[in-house]
Structure 1
Amino acid sequence: LKEAVNELNCGVAIAGGKGKASMRTLAEIDELADDAGLNLSTHRVEKLKYASRMAAKVDNSLVQDNYQLYHHSFIVSKHAWAVVQQGMNSQNSYARRYHWISDAVRSFVDEPHAAICCDAKGQQVLDMTAHSSEESRKTSLDIVNDNPSHIEGYLKISARPEQTSLYDFVNGDFPSQEPAILSLCKNHRLRLSKRSMNALKQAYEVQPESYEELTSLKGIGAGSIRALALISELVYGTEASWNDPAKFSFAHGGKDGIPYPVDKKRMDDNTALLKDAVRNARLGNKERLDALRRLALTTL
């Protein structure tokens, strides 16, 4: 598809692809500047490269759903762009697809996706792109700009049996109880690598003005984002979203018979329903028009 579209010179081009091809996305966007059908300025090319980098960074680091990206396709026209990415979960062998459309992206870090599709939903998915994570994003930025060196102290958990805790001072005046225990799934470890810590210290030197700028910095990855979100919640009380943003796909079945064969009758019935809704909307039927708008907001 990529080769066929690019040979047409039709005003639409595709960069990137699967595996190693995805690593050439930025270079291929540079090459698109010479495409006569697109006529891209240098400034436009740089913005497209930024969009490609951020889409990959966000889906690998801000949406921590345990799906590793292996496919990144960047579709470009003169005035718009779109991203289709796919990740694989090695534990359950499911794939997950991430869709971005430039017209719908108001922020790269606040509800930027047109859709995230998967047949499996995770129980604990850190989603820093959720609008409900806004306060956590603000606190994370404040932690970095205030000097992240104290993060190491927050994350250190003493294993020494002689370590005194507040519970050692509980006497008869207080009810005896076990301390509360924070339990995270194994995909969200508290350990912060030396590399991630150094990246946070370098970010402090930059003093990013926004969470998007922080995310875009080299070295800031899933570990850094997770540590900041954890401290934001435990120390400052600003909670991030742990709801999986994926929606179920394959409403009409899959071409390979998974999760079930394509139901052609259901597909035809739903297509007819949508066509009827569009016709009535054009005729000014307000109820049908409102229903169509709701449908557009809830379907993929």
Structure 2
Amino acid sequence: MRRGIANLPLHYGKAPPWLFKRMVELSKSIVELIVIEHGRRTFLERLSDPYWFQAFGCVLGFDWHSSGLTTTVCGALKESLKGLDRELGLYVAGGKGKSALKTPEELERIGETVGINTETLKDISRLVAKVDNTLLQDGYQLYHHTIIFTEEGLWAVVQQGMNTNNRYARRYHWFGGGLKSFVEEPHSGISAQKVHERITLNMTAKESRDSRESITELLKNKDILLREIESIETLNLPRRHDVRREDVDLKKLRETVKKVREEDIKEFEDVLRQRGMGPKTIRALALVSELIYGAKPSFKDPARYSFAHGGKDGYPFPVQKELYDGTIDTLKRAIAKAKVGDREKVDAIKKLSKILND
């Protein structure tokens, strides 16, 4: 897996209607060609690659630092697949703000329309959002969540968080194919403004494995945990602790633990599924597990460092409408011919790509 950082400062402005309309048309043609040539799995793999996603956005008319690349590209993709989703076997749910919160209901509607069970996808959608907001406490609050999936249940997720202090965004990519764990090094890539020297908490790191296992064991035996919570009330913690006593709301922690049904806890993913398991509760449990078992969590940032048609804000040059429309027309003609067995234009595009990459 390649990891990298792309600067994503939050600028003002949005894609004008004339550009968004073209983005929809061009993304539709690109998706069709990829699915025809390589299949749905490859398309989902590419979406889960932050470098490819960024390049995709640039082709659609966003320069590298344009505001809204993530939300607008996902929005254009969602719009482009309307009416084409059954033919390609690809579906999109979610979006920005309130649309993100309505993802489970949207998945339910798609399932009823297509005739597939989306319960697992709803659980995945909630879980990946919980991981990036609760287990990975890097200072970026999620405001965008999009899940793209097939009828067979293969999926990719693109979600984005905002840091209101430095006004930068961070994008999180997930791919379901071959995913071994939702809670340990699960991302296919993270696009971020910079690597922070330390973050509040990273429970997704391999170094946090002992901490995750300790928390799971504590919740399986919550009587022991409740006794330890009582003892913390009078405990003076040494300065070396990254999670401090003042960070812990013991009353809320106690109430949350009491509501947990021990039989529901088999692995750490089940801990995340419990009601009330927000960032503060996870930090408190990490502290308690360290005190009891000596299992220290990680505070390491998981991110790594890292214009075909112009940019929506005029940089590096204004979008050229005639060129953009010509690209859409060329791809549409290639798709139409490929569907009837004439691959001349598709092969020509492949040859052009090879020449440009040599």
The TM-score, its normalising length taken from structure 1, stands at 0.70
Q: Which amino acid aligns with 1:24?
A: K
> What's the CA shift for 1:275?
4.3
Match of 1:55 in 2: 128
Instruction: Tell me, yes or no, if structure 1 residue 136 matches structure 2 residue 211.
Output: yes
Q: Give the whole-Å Cα distance in 1 for the aligned partners of 2:182 and 2:356.
A: 31
Q: Give the whole-Å Cα distance in 2 for the aligned partners of 1:274 and 1:134.
A: 44
> What's the CA shift for 1:146?
2.0
Q: 1:274 to 1:211 in 2, by over 3 A?
A: farther
Q: How does 1:44-193 map to 2 (within 5 A)?
A: 45-79=118-152, 80-125=154-199, 126-147=201-222, 148-157=225-234, 180-182=238-240, 184=242, 190-192=247-249
Match of 1:26 in 2: 104
Match of 1:16 in 2: 94
Aligned partner of residue 28 in structure 1, secondary structure: helix
Q: 1:66 to 1:13 in 2, by over 3 A?
A: same
Q: Give the whole-Å Cα distance in 2 for the aligned partners of 1:185 and 1:149.
A: 19
Q: Which moved more, 1:237-246 or 1:191-200?
A: 191-200
Work out whether residues 219 and 262 of structure 2, in 8 Å CA contact, stay in contact via their aligned partners in 1.
no
Q: Give the whole-Å Cα distance in 2 for the aligned partners of 1:53 and 1:129.
A: 16
> What's the CA shift for 1:73?
0.6
Q: Give the whole-Å Cα distance in 1 for the aligned partners of 2:311 and 2:284.
A: 41
Q: Give the whole-Å Cα distance in 2 for the aligned partners of 1:110 and 1:134.
A: 8
Instruction: For CA contacts below 8 A with separation 6 or more, give which structure has more relative contact order.
Output: 2
Match of 1:240 in 2: 297
Q: Which amino acid aligns with 1:242?
A: F
Aligned partner of residue 71 in structure 1, secondary structure: strand
Q: Which amino acid aligns with 1:69?
A: L
> What's the CA shift for 1:245?
0.5
> What's the CA shift for 1:248?
3.2
> What's the CA shift for 1:141?
1.0
> What's the CA shift for 1:185?
7.7
Work out whether residues 63 and 127 of structure 1, in 8 Å CA contact, stay in contact via their aligned partners in 2.
yes
Q: Give the whole-Å Cα distance in 2 for the aligned partners of 1:195 and 1:6.
A: 44
Q: Deviations over 1:131-183 (max 9, x none)?
A: 22111111111122222212423432468xxxxxxxxxxxxxxxxxxx95235
Q: Which amino acid aligns with 1:181?
A: R
Work out whether residues 89 and 151 of structure 2, in 8 Å CA contact, stay in contact via their aligned partners in 1.
yes
Q: Deviations over 1:240-262 (max 9, x none)?
A: 1111011235xxxx9689xx969
> What's the CA shift for 1:274?
10
Instruction: Tell me, yes or no, if structure 1 residue 6 matches structure 2 residue 82.
Output: yes
Q: 1:134 to 1:261 in 2, by over 3 A?
A: farther
> What's the CA shift for 1:13?
1.3
Match of 2:254 in 1: 197
TM-align CA RMSD: 3.0
Work out whether residues 162 and 170 of structure 2, in 8 Å CA contact, stay in contact via their aligned partners in 1.
yes
- Count matched residues: 237
The TM-score, its normalising length taken from structure 2, stands at 0.59
> What's the CA shift for 1:65?
0.7
Work out whether residues 94 and 120 of structure 1, in 8 Å CA contact, stay in contact via their aligned partners in 2.
no
Q: Give the whole-Å Cα distance in 2 for the aligned partners of 1:155 and 1:189.
A: 11
Work out whether residues 253 and 284 of structure 2, in 8 Å CA contact, stay in contact via their aligned partners in 1.
no
Q: Give the whole-Å Cα distance in 1 for the aligned partners of 2:284 and 2:243.
A: 14
Between structures 1 and 2, the one with greater helix share: 2
* Residue in structure 2 matching 1:226, options 283, 286, 291: 283
Q: Which moved more, 1:18-27 or 1:110-119?
A: 110-119
Q: Give the whole-Å Cα distance in 1 for the aligned partners of 2:127 and 2:243.
A: 26
Work out whether residues 196 and 224 of structure 1, in 8 Å CA contact, stay in contact via their aligned partners in 2.
yes
